[in-house]
Structures are given as structure tokens and as C-alpha cells.
Chains A and B, each alone.
Chain A
């Protein structure tokens, strides 16, 4: 590790620099609430179809049920994922990935780096893949996946996905116990930026959010997705991307209702199924618009 550990933003900049040199487009975070970097249309939608795709981006990821009012050192209603997608995955993706660890100061002859089986799946978007969680000295620092299906459709050529948990990685690099103590840059701490968010959003998502409103909006979104995806743009294409934004909104509304404790166990599967169906609708329309998925 370098003498001065990377700050939170220093870590992001290093990863941007590294993946940019590997030919990735550095995208901006998606501006609709998502639960994980994978759910951004820049992953879910763009890994479908035959065209190549190479991107890296930071994605704030909202998980209302994980909010702890800023009182827990590493549980957050919103954390940040660093997401890399390479489609088709190059044959040396593992080596490229290990290069990124060296770039952020993790020396594989000092730290124990392991690829531990982890089969990733996300039932909400009908996606699964095989890969590993990557461990550094016993800590999971990255989810590494070869996407096999998204929206219930085969991903071919296969896309390689790397998801780094930025807070966790940063805690490790800076040797801190609490995310709020992380140096965001030399002057500010992570807590200076996000503590207020955690305090307020935890209260909102777990106590204040109005379940009836969420429920109504969920149903609105559900209807909207079907309506939008059936509409045509000026060039005759299905409006997949706007439709998918509404899937994300529905998904976030579901997460808030869940955090409010308003989803009975029996209802849960049904909600997830509804979101998956919407997602599938978008995936199919996208693949159709892209030409044959092989």
C-alpha cells in the first residue's frame, strides 16, 4: 500500500483512470434510484443484444431496509458501487481485474487474494451469472460475474461484470472502522457529506414514507411500463429506456414499502415477480430493437 492511503474519491479516481485505460467509457451515475449498480440500464439493458459494451461508473445504490440512522459504522441506506462491464468479456478479465487492485495499492504478494465461488443472481431482474466473490485477507471486496442471463434472456456475447463495494474497500485501504471517518478527500470526511443523508433517509424510509402512496405509485408505475413499452418513438422503436426507468421506480417503491415493514412475507414473492415481469418486457423489447441476440 502507498504511504498515504487513498481517499474515498482518490480510490474512485484511480479506478476511473485504470478502467479508462482499459478502453472503458467512464459514465456518470444513473439518475434514478437503484438498489445496485447492476440495475442501472447501463448494465441491465446494455448487456443484452449482440453489440460490444465497455463501461465503468460509480453507482450510488439505495437499500432502504439497510438504513441505520447513521448509527451503525458500516450499514447504510445508500452506499456506492463501482461497476465495470466488459462485453464480450476479454479472455484476460481476471488479469485486468487484478491489475486494478494493484492500481489501488493492493499488493497480491502481501495480501491474500482469493476467488471464492459465488453464483450471482438477481431474481428481480431475472438475471444470473457464475463467478466469484473476490476476497482480500478474508474480506469480500468485489463481486465478479460472467453474466449468463438478464431479464430471462441469454447474454451473448457474455458480459463480465465487476462490482467493487467502495465504502468497504475504502475502509480497508484507510484502515478505519466507521465509514463516517473515511477521508473523502484530504479535507473532508465521508460523514461530512453523507451522515445527514443517512439520518434523514433512514427516518423517512422506515417511518415516514406513506405506504398507501407508495402502493398507489407502484401500481401507477406498473401500468406505465406496459403503456410506454408498447408506444413507439419517431423512428418506430419501442421506448424501452423510458419504460425501464419506470421499472426502477417501481422497484425502489417496493424497497421503501419493504423497509416500512409493509410487505408480508407472502406478498413478497408476488411483488418481486411483478417487477421481474416488467423487466422481462423491457429486456425483450430491447433485444428485438438490437437485432438478433445471436
Chain B
């Protein structure tokens, strides 16, 4: 079956956009082909610095003919209705079919050649491609990520003819910008395309480029007894910068090794897109770097290695200058400068923020069990590195540099650690700070973020969360849970923010495989202690997995439904249920059971023995089942009825102290 090959050849596509572009091309093509009833056996896309490629195998040469029956007006309907139907279908009245007093039109649509559909599809895709940013060039109004130079479109060995804004489709492709002979080559199908590119120094597949980079880089390192510091994000980016990846190992002036390794690595990665290299014996950075060139240089890469080394030296000299200058100024003396840094137009300066965080740290320290003076000092200094030279150059080193400077000043180790790690955890893969002072400052930092932005109405909506409030809430949750910190959240946040925490916690627990209705059931109790909430959720979750649990839940729901129904008729009786004389044994048994259980619940809950509390509730299951089995709540005798309602209310309330079972589904 025929094959379709499409290549959109352009000037250099930003590396960070390539993977998404390949996915978008695949998605759009699948949608359009499916809409036309053209299903390929396989479809694959590729992205590289200068091209987006699609190959679809096993497409039919043409659409199948399509038969369609359209229902028209009733026979005898007003003539306008019939006329309209005839216009719509393009038929005459004698071509219509009458069935059960209704006109039907039988339409026969001959299938169109696939090539014709492909031509429309490519134009539609090119004109609506979802680039994050696009541009026009020259005198053309066609938008593309960078100028679109050539479109190769071959179906079943033939060019699919079309022209998009002056760019005609064709069957020519180009190889590497510098290493090929510069002459476009003729393409018949995907095989000749891939083969032609490989011979012209282009690796089409990004995964293959990555694999080559890693393999060659590791070999180069191994030969010199070095170890590559792997970096998946950097690898993705570098693989999008080169068509013919050639790793080159260069030397770094060892005098720079006295800089903090984070500074060296960040300078290499951010400014130069180099991989760092370490000494396998010590695990420390080695005075080398690995860059990935786009050519096999005539001199084997000597010039490239030397040139890059020189650039790196200049970069690290700058970094060293900043680092040394930074250490001349105490963090304390930088605070004044924070007044000039706007945190947010409505939330004042960074200095204002520091004051808020410091106040929070002071209140949080006793809760966390941290040394208050140290927590306050660390909070005051935590943001001072924002106005340092190195952080100005590398914003991602915020906190880390503050830690170095604090250490150089000889500040207390816990304070240093707190300054260094107060932004953490910065994502699911990042560890939460564990030291007590560090946890205090990290909590203060995030609590301020949350309360401040909620305070000015900047809440996350849908996928929009510009101030990373979800991350802040999740960070707090992780610090609190991992450190088992008994933080009464209500003391620090509004009800609205508390609700936000409930949502975040539900998401976190759901990701851990827990039922989110259970989180709601526990949150409904109004508790604000995350550690206790999670303990309750865990106990509840375990309980509901037992037979006693599910049955008791059913009994609970039945009791609540009865109470609700009765409540509609009039106020429920209040007070304790009594051991009424002559009452059925099942009633007496339940009264006794709920009495015993309720008596024990308080102390168990007080001791946070939620598993114990659940075990107590489990003891109600038998009596509750037996009660519903044998006893009619709605007795004709009002005294009996009232007592039984009191009894059910007591069961409900006792259970309600452990969780709001009405929020539990199923």
C-alpha cells in the first residue's frame, strides 16, 4: 500500500520546541486523515534543527466511495421544505425515495484520491500549526516558527502537487548545512530519504542523535578516565541543536575548580550547553567539559575544543569576579537593597516579603521545634542573595549561593542549611528540607507566598498558576508530612487557603492511590493538622477495605437517610437513647454497644489511635445490622420511635467523630 512522506524544511527550529512540534504534526495528521476515513497502517514523525518529517505507511490510494442516506421532509410537507432539501442534496424530486411517508435522498460520494486530500491536509496543517511563537519573513504572510524554505511531499512515489504561499511542493531534500555537498537530492520514498540524509550527515531521529551523543561522550570520557555527568534536560536540548552530533571533550582551566560546583555546572549548562565531567575516583568535577559540535571538523575538533575552552574561561572568569565581589558584602548588608526589588506590584518589595517571612518563621519555630533565633536569622537573610552578582547571572542558583555566602561569613550551620534549602522542595523529584530550622524557613517562605497571593485574589485557575501556588502548597504538605510537623494551619491561613490545601492533599493522596472521597470525609471534620488528617485517612481507608467497614458504612447511610427523612417531618428528638423496658433485644444491644464504643472513642481519638478508633467502630457493625434487621424505627409508639431516632443519631455522631462518613462514596 502507498506511503506518504512529508518534510517541512525550515531555518533552525528552537530546540525546546522540536519534540512538541513532532507530536503536534502527528496529532494533526492523524485527525485529518481519520476525518477523511484514511487510516494508515503506521504513522511516525521526526523533528530536528531544520526539519519536521512525517511518514505514513500503508495509506489507501483513494478514499472508499461513500453511500449516505439523508432523511428529508415528510411527503406532503410545505413545498419550501422540499425545495430546501433538494437544494441541499443537489437532487431532483424524482431521485428521492419515499418510505413510510418520508422522503429520503440516497447520496453516492465517490472517494477522492488520497493525494488530493493530502494536499489539503498539508496546507491546513502548515497554516494552523500551533507553534508557541511564530513569525513572518520577507514579503510572505505565511507564519512559521522560522522561515519555511521547502516542502517535500511524496505520495506513492509521486510529488503531491500544491503551492503554499509561493512554496511549491517537491521531491527534493537537503542534507547537512555544512557537511553535505549543498546539493538537494531526489527522494522517492522514506527509505531513499532516510538513506540520503544519513549520507549527507543528518541523523533524522532525535532519539538516535541522543544515543550517539551519550555513547560517544562516554567513550571520550572513558578514554581519559573521566565520567560524564548525565543531564537528560540538557541532552534533549543539545540533540535539538545539531543534525550531526559530534561530542568534543575540551579542557577547562583547573584554577576555576575552586568555584562552587553548582556555579561551574550552571555556567556550562545555561550559557554554553556543555556537559560537566567528573573524576570517577572522587566524584568531584574534573577540569574538562563536553560540548557537542554539529560537524566533524577538518582538524578533528582541535580548534573547536580550544575555542570553546576560551569561551568557558571567559564565562568562569566573570562568574569568579561576581563570586568574589559577592563575598565582600555580608548578606545582612544586602537587605537594604531588597527594598528596591519589587516582589509584586500589589505585594510590595522583596524587603517587605522578608519581613513577613521573618515574622512567620518566628511563629513557626516553636511549632516545628526549631531554635527561634536561628530561624529568624535565616529567614531574614534567605532572600539576600537575590541582589548578589552570581544570582543576577544565574537566577536558578538562588538559595544555593546564599548558603555559600552565609557559610563564608561563618554563620551557624543550621542557618546556612536553611538559607540554602528554603526554596525546596521545588518539584516532586526534589527533597524537602529536613533540618528543623530549614523546615521552618521553607514553610515560612511558602506560607507567605500562598497567603499573599490569595490575599490579592491571584488564585490558580485551571492550568494557569503563574505564581506556582500549587507547588508552594504541595511543598508545605510534604515538609509537614515528611517531618511529622504538627502545624495548626488555621492559625496561619484563611479558610480559602485551607480549602486549597485540602484540594492539594487530595491530589497528592490520590497520586499515592488513596481515595479522594476519604480525604474529603476527613477534611469535613474541620481538622487542620495535616499529619493527623493523613493518619485518619489511612485508618479510614484500611477500615473500609474490611467487611465490617463496608457493612457499617451501609448501616450508617441507612441511619442517616432515616434521620433525614424524619427531620423533614419535624425536629428530631434530642438526648440520649435509653434502655427502654420491653424494647427488642437488638435495640438494647445497640444502645449498650454504642454507649461503650462512644465512651472509648474520645480517648482513642485523643491519642490519635485512629486504627483503634476504627476497630471500636467495627464493633458496632453486628449490633447495627441486627437492629435494622429486627427493629422498625418508625414505631406507632411515639416514645419508642423517639428513642430509636436518638439511638441512630448517637450512632451517626459517634461515627462522625472519626470521619464524615456521608462524604464517603460507595
Contact = CB atoms under 8 A, between A and B. Distances in A.
Interface of A: 74, 88-91, 94, 107-117, 119, 129-132, 136-139, 146, 148, 156-158, 160, 172, 264-266
Given A112-B294, A112-B304, A94 B136 contact: no
Nearest to A131: B146
Contacts of A139: 307, 310-311
B545 to A, nearest CB: 52
B11 A90 contact: no
B203 to A, nearest CB: 16
Interface string B131-155: 0011111110000011101000000
B291 interface: yes
A223 to B, nearest CB: 28
B277 to A, nearest CB: 16
B164 interface: no
Given A108-B295, A137-B308, A158-B137, A266 B149 contact: no
B249 to A, nearest CB: 14
Contacts of B11: 94, 115
Contacts of B329: none
B179 interface: yes
A222 B136 CA distance: 33
Contact of A119 (B15, B133, B274, B298): B133
B490 interface: no
A138 B241 CA distance: 12
A172 B294 contact: no
Given A116-B241, A137-B303, A265-B341, 19 more contacts: A89-B137, A91-B137, A94-B11, A107-B298, A109-B178, A110-B298, A110-B299, A110-B303, A111-B297, A111-B307, A112-B295, A117-B15, A130-B135, A137-B304, A138-B291, A139-B307, A139-B311, A146-B137, A158-B136
B624 interface: no
Contacts of B16: 117
Contacts of B312: 138
Nearest to A156: B136
A177 to B, nearest CB: 8
- Secondary structure of the B contact surface, majority rule: loop
B97 interface: no
5 contacts: A110-B304, A111-B304, A112-B291, A130-B135, A139-B307
B529 interface: no
B138 A157 contact: yes
Contacts of B640: none
B447 to A, nearest CB: 26
B14 interface: yes
Contact of B303 (A111, A132, A148): A111
Contact of B133 (A88, A115, A130, A172): A130
B178 A108 contact: yes
A90 B340 CA distance: 46
Contact of A138 (B49, B133, B177, B307): B307
B20 interface: no
B340 A74 contact: no
B408 to A, nearest CB: 24
A88 B12 CA distance: 19
A87 to B, nearest CB: 9
Interface in B589-606: none
B139 A88 contact: yes
B108 to A, nearest CB: 46
Given A116-B241, A264-B340, A110 B297 contact: yes
Contacts of A107: 298
